[in-house]
Amino acid sequence: MAVTTSDEADEHLIREAEKVAVALGRMFPGLCEVVLHDLRNPRHAIRTIENNLSGRKVGDSVTELGLARIEDPDYPSVIQNYPNQFPDGRPAKSTSIGIKNTAGEYVAALCLNLDVSVLSPMTLALSNLVATDTEHRDQPLEVLRDRNARELRQVVEALAAERAAAPRSLSREDKKALVRQLHQDGYFDSRDAAQTIADLLGVSRATVYNYSK
């Protein structure tokens, strides 16, 4: 089938968008995943992926937002700062930008996925640095019997931030000390707490139990 002038114009538009995707990704290495989707080919939409944090690859299929834009040209062009999650559970903040051709059809989408799990310990560390109320810092954490995974994640990140690191980057000894602190404060009473802690620290569940002894 012959390539039309419209097809050539759309391809040129996407190639220009690829330059933007690569430049953005290289500006935020290891921190922000940048993905360019070719909405003309939803089954193999990913044209470019920089700072691969989601485990996807070039040629993978389009996301739900991409399908929504393909089906509805009036779908919002920009969806900004919405909560998202990487496959391994790390929280992300995402922005999706739809790109239309001269006919008003979506032909591409540029998506940015910021790994906020990297920034959380830094934010907590800075908060601790400027805090002036230290009256209760040496007292044990309050024991709450009904703690969910989100609350446990916050505690783990806070304890890691006191060591100026992300949970997964802690040394073996620091991870052991952190697990023992969680055990002492009653966090192991929660359902699936050991598995949640293991996922956050990047170790096995058996290792968590071994550290807690």
Instruction: Name the more confident of 179 and 128.
Output: 179
- Region 75-85 average pLDDT: 93
Nearest to 173 by CA among 211, 129, 213, 125: 211
> Is residue 61 a contact partner of residue 81, using CB atoms and an 8 Å limit?
no
3-state secondary structure of 165: coil
More confident residue, 125 or 151: 151
Q: Which residues contact 129 (CB under 8 A, 6 or more apart)?
A: none
Lowest mean pLDDT among 52-56, 74-78, 147-151: 147-151
Do 158 and 124 touch, CB atoms closer than 8 A? yes
Percent with pLDDT over 70 in the chain: 83
How much is the average pLDDT of 63-84? Answer: 92
Query: Read out DSSP for 74-131?
Result: TS-SEEEEEEEE-TTS-EEEEEEEEEE-TTS-EEEEEEEEEEHHHHHHHHHHHHHHH-
Of 49-53, 98-102, 117-121, 156-160, the range with the lowest mean pLDDT is 117-121
Return all residues near 1 (Cβ < 8 A) that are at least 6 apart: none
Helix axes 193-201, 172-184, angle to 10 degrees: 160
Q: Report pLDDT for 128.
A: 64
> pLDDT by residue (tens digit) across 112-137?
999 988 776 666 666 666 665 555 55
Q: How far is CA 123 from the centre of its chain?
A: 16
- Residue 38 phi, psi (nearest 5): -90, 105
Compute the half-sphere exposure of residue 66: CA atoms within 13 Å on the CB side of its CA: 21
Kindly state the DSSP code that residue 40 receives in the 8-state scheme. T
Q: Does pTM surpass 0.95? A: no
Tokens of 14: 């996407």
pLDDT digits (tens, 9 = 90+) for 12-62: 999 999 999 999 999 988 889 999 999 999 999 999 999 999 999 999 999
* 158-179 mean pLDDT: 87
pLDDT computed for residue 151 by the predictor: 77
Q: Is the pLDDT of residue 100 over 80?
A: yes
